[in-house]
Amino acid sequence: MNRLVRLVPALLLVVACASPSQTPSQTLLPTISLAPTDTPASAAPGTPAAPPSPTVSPTPTPTLTEPPATPGPTLVPGGRVTLVTHDSFAASDPVIHDFEAQSGQTLKVLKGGDAGAMVNQAILTKDNPLGDALYGVDNTFLSRALDAGIFVPYTSPASASVAQEFKLDPQNRVTPIDFGDVCIVYDVQAGSGSGAVGIPQTINDLTMPAYKGKLVVEDPATSSPGLAFMLATIIRFGETGDYTWLDYWRDLRANGVLVVQDWNDAYYNEFSAGGAGGDRPFVVSYATDPAAEIYFAGETSGTPDVAKLDDGCFRQIEFAGVLAGAKNPAGAQAWVDYMASAEFQSDIPLNMFVFPVNPDAQLPDLFAHYAAQATDPLTMDPQTIAANRDSWIQQWTDTVIH
């Protein structure tokens, strides 16, 4: 007992020594607000001067190409830009080197798990950010990031020609970079050959007996495509009426839908065209899969084993922004400009298998041939997603799992 008493102060001493003079709870706790607020946070005081945010303009284009009224932070040659991003970020080496040569900055890339984890890490560290710019927040997480005030407004001249539908933040705290459609992807063998079940016309058909035990989806609580498909069903079937989205999921469940944790598991282990010997010909995945299949097989053309169902597709848009409290805000702006430029945008498809938002970007032939966009993608306003996400996931879990 006596010795235990000695141990406790020793431990406390260690902890105390590890922290600076003031206790961390005093400096840290009150300033981080985890609860989303309705008012968008402005740039934190004390952050380096950012260009004034342009006023909300309902009409596209005109004001965007004008230079900022007051000069922004200036680029210091020899500086270092730190990019915080998710594990899926990839770019060709020459493209990164071009940025470094053009801007005189070196780029350091920090990766922090999947998009959700990465955004949450950025929120937790917003008073002392890990980097200067962040890339990879998508429309399903956008509101949480904006409400927490992790970005400062920056209107990139490079994104002047980008369609207005991608610019989801009127205050331009984030710049759209790329988009992709999450769809039902099927094994083309399912349409012909032995054991063919036929290709459904719509996602509604997947509740029919012919498709019993044929579909694998990801858990929306742990997977980004899983969440996207759940949102697609909410948009498609609605929350009220004769047949709600939960009715649809009830029917899918009765029809033997399999729920797995993440995309890897769904695609490789359960999907029949995924390689590991799954037996389900339908999977929630990305519309660009046919192009990726061919590309990663080392080919430039061929007959993909998979195709997408052009119905019930949800459009994910990814953004980049300048972090509040960035040590090198000018470098961060230069990086955001570069990501939005035609050069970087043309490099995006074969590295991340999503579509560039910049209409001036050149699509590789492979992509142009095999990666079709959804004809009529479903979208949802980020505020609506943020306000309902947790409750929808809970309802989904109660309906499909329990």
Partner 1 sequence: MALARRLATPALAALPLAFLGVFFAYPVISILALGLAPGGALDIRAALDVLTQPFVAQVAWFTLWQAVLSTVLTVGLALPGAYVFARFEFPGRRLIGALAIVPFVLPTVVVAAAFLALIGPRSPFGVRLDHSIVAILIAHVFYNYAVVLRIVGGVWQQIDPRTEEAARVLGASRWRAFRTVTLPLLRPAIASAASIVFLFTFTSFGVILLLGGAQFSTLEVEIYRQTAELLDLRTAAVLSLLQMSALVVLLFVYSRYQQRNAVQQRQLSRPMVARAPRTAAERALVATNLLVMALLLGVPLLVLIERSLAVPGGYGLQNFQALFASTQLSALFVPPIEAIQNSLAFAAVATLICAPLGLAAAFVIARGRGRLASGFDALLMLPLGTSAVIVGFGFLVALGNLPFDLRTSVVLIPIAHAIVALPFLVRSTVPVLRSVDQRLRDAAAVLGASPTRVWREVDMPIVSRAALVGAGFAFAVSLGEFGATLFIVRPDTPTMPIAIFRLLSQPGALAFGQAMAMAALLMFVTGASVLAFDRLRADA
132, 178, 219, 343: which one binds partner 1 (CB under 8 A): 219
Minimum CB–partner distance for residue 26 and partner 1 (Å): 8
Residue located via tokens 């937790």: 124
Write down the H helix ranges in 209-341.
Answer: 224-237, 245-254, 263-264, 289-296, 329-340
Residue 119 or 162 having the CB closest to partner 1: 119
| Residues ≥6 apart with Cβ < 8 Å to 14 | none
Q: What whole-number distance in Å separates Cα of residue 136 and Cα of residue 36?
A: 20
Q: What are the E-state strand segments in 59-192? A: 80-85, 106-111, 133-138, 151-152, 175-187
Contact 332, 133 (CB under 8 A): yes
Contact 126, 326 (CB under 8 A): no
Give the interface size with partner 1 as a residue count (CB under 8 A).
87
100, 114, 247, 251: which one binds partner 1 (CB under 8 A): 114
Residue 115 or 174 having the CB closest to partner 1: 115
| Using rule CB under 8 A, residue 25 touches partner 1 | yes
Residue 98 or 160 having the CB closest to partner 1: 98
Residue 191 or 275 having the CB closest to partner 1: 275
3, 38, 56, 193: which one binds partner 1 (CB under 8 A): 3
| Using rule CB under 8 A, residue 363 touches partner 1 | no
- Convert residues 68-107 into a mask of x (bound to partner 1 by CB under 8 A) and - (unbound): --------------x-x--xx-x-x---------------
Minimum CB–partner distance for residue 218 and partner 1 (Å): 9
| Using rule CB under 8 A, residue 113 touches partner 1 | yes
| Using rule CB under 8 A, residue 254 touches partner 1 | no
| Residues ≥6 apart with Cβ < 8 Å to 285 | 182, 183, 184, 185, 225, 263, 266, 267, 271, 306, 308
Q: What are the E-state strand segments in 120-274? A: 133-138, 151-152, 175-187, 215-218, 258-260
| Using rule CB under 8 A, residue 128 touches partner 1 | yes
- Convert residues 292-331 into a mask of x (bound to partner 1 by CB under 8 A) and - (unbound): xxxxxxx------xx-------------------------
| Using rule CB under 8 A, residue 387 touches partner 1 | no
| Using rule CB under 8 A, residue 120 touches partner 1 | yes
φ and ψ at 21, to 5 degrees?
A: -55, -45
- Convert residues 137-156 into a mask of x (bound to partner 1 by CB under 8 A) and - (unbound): -------x------------
Residue type, 148: A
Q: Report the Cα 196 to chain-centroid distance in Å.
A: 34
| Residues ≥6 apart with Cβ < 8 Å to 164 | 60
Residue 150 or 162 having the CB closest to partner 1: 150
